């Protein structure tokens, strides 16, 4: 049977239910934990996060994939307690959001060291928590081109994914040619890779989405809700209709099996104020009604949020 690592244990993929594939319990830049202005007390973090996860559960949400990398505020004991209290499965990741958020200890490490780190977190556990990572995060550093360090992390991730059967999720799908070359060289089938943020306002115009699908990759339309219609939109916002039209081109164009969708929201941002008015529950409150209004049927919605994530997240032996 297909299995998936969650922070409370390895479970059958059938038990994941409705999945938010790219979210954050709390995301902050490395070092934000040292900032006395922004670092939050445990009380504040629980207070901001628990109601959102409870609401997610009430709406029918089953699994929350936390795409926060090793140096960006990942806190697995905290995730375990959130999952136990709210009943939402939480999948934690190993890996890094990008080379530019890896602290010097990791930034100087070899491919071999990094891949052993990832494999340990997937097969033994993260730190002393006993919780195994269910996905590997990699990403493109600021600047729009993959750096030497980004490539080292991608190669280590490809080796760990091939060795353990856990999939890879990328931050950004721009400049994907070097990434695809690395995955091919390491013998990792590209359906094990979700190329994320293909839909955000800054990167959508420069992301070769069709090419990625032709190579066998999956597309993450995972910044739903960061729209120019917000009162104070972030720089990566995009008009709501533009994003929906972009998504529908794949959903209604025979590529529904290649797409996954999410909101990339922060339950409780760390070291920055976050984006007001945007939560994981955008998926239920706005996105799904929008899909229905655009003629997307229930079976297709189930494929996007239940079947595709179960297939993608399943540990492939």
Name the site residues for Zn ion (rule: CB under 5 A): 67, 264
* Pick 56 or 296: Cβ nearer Zn ion: 56
CB of 278 to Zn ion, least distance (A): 12
Residue from 227, 203, 219, 234 nearest 282 by CA: 227
* Pick 160 or 275: Cβ nearer Zn ion: 275
CB of 23 to Zn ion, least distance (A): 7
CB of 209 to Zn ion, least distance (A): 18
- In contact, 207 and 177? CB cutoff 8 Å: no
CB pairs under 8 A, 24+ apart, for 113-117? Answer: 113/156, 114/152, 114/153, 114/156, 114/157, 115/155, 115/156, 115/157, 115/159, 115/160, 115/163, 117/156
Radius of gyration from C-alpha coordinates of the chain: 18
* Pick 296 or 305: Cβ nearer Zn ion: 305
* Pick 67 or 182: Cβ nearer Zn ion: 67
- In contact, 187 and 178? CB cutoff 8 Å: no
- Looking at residue 165, the DSSP 8-state letter turns out to be -
* Pick 157 or 296: Cβ nearer Zn ion: 157
CB of 153 to Zn ion, least distance (A): 16
CB of 137 to Zn ion, least distance (A): 8
**Six token digits for residue 200:** 């955000």
């Amino acid at each position: 049977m297909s299995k998936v690592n969650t922070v409370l244990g390895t479970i059958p993929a059938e038990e994941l239910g409705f999945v938010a594939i790219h979210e954050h319990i709390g995301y902050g830049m490395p070092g934000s934990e040292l900032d006395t202005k922004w670092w939050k007390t445990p009380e504040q973090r629980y207070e901001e996060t628990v109601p959102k996860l409870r609401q997610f559960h009430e709406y029918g949400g089953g699994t929350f994939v936390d795409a926060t990398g090793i140096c960006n505020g990942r806190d697995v004991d905290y995730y375990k307690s959130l999952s136990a209290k709210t009943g939402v499965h939480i999948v934690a990741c190993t890996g890094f959001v990008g080379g530019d958020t890896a602290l010097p200890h990791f930034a100087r490490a070899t491919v071999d060291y990094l891949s052993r780190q990832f494999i340990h977190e997937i097969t033994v556990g993260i730190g002393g928590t006993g919780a195994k990572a269910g996905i590997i995060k990699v990403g493109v550093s600021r600047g729009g081109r993959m750096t030497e360090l980004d490539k080292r992390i991608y190669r280590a991730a490809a080796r760990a994914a091939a060795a353990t059967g856990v999939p890879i999720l990328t931050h950004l799908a721009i400049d994907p040619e070097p990434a695809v070359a690395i995955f091919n060289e390491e013998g990792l089938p590209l359906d094990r890779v979700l190329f994320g943020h293909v839909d955000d306002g800054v990167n959508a115009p420069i992301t070769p989405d069709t090419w990625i699908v032709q190579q066998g990759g999956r597309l993450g339309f995972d910044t739903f809700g960061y729209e120019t219609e917000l009162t104070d939109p972030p720089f990566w916002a995009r008009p709501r209709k533009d994003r929906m039209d972009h998504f529908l081109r794949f959903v209604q164009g025979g590529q529904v099996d290649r797409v996954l969708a999410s909101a990339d929201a922060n339950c409780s941002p760390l070291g920055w104020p976050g984006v007001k008015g945007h939560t994981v529950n955008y998926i239920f409150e706005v996105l799904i009604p929008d899909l229905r209004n655009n003629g997307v049927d229930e079976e297709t919605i189930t494929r996007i949020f239940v079947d595709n994530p179960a297939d993608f997240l399943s540990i492939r032996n």
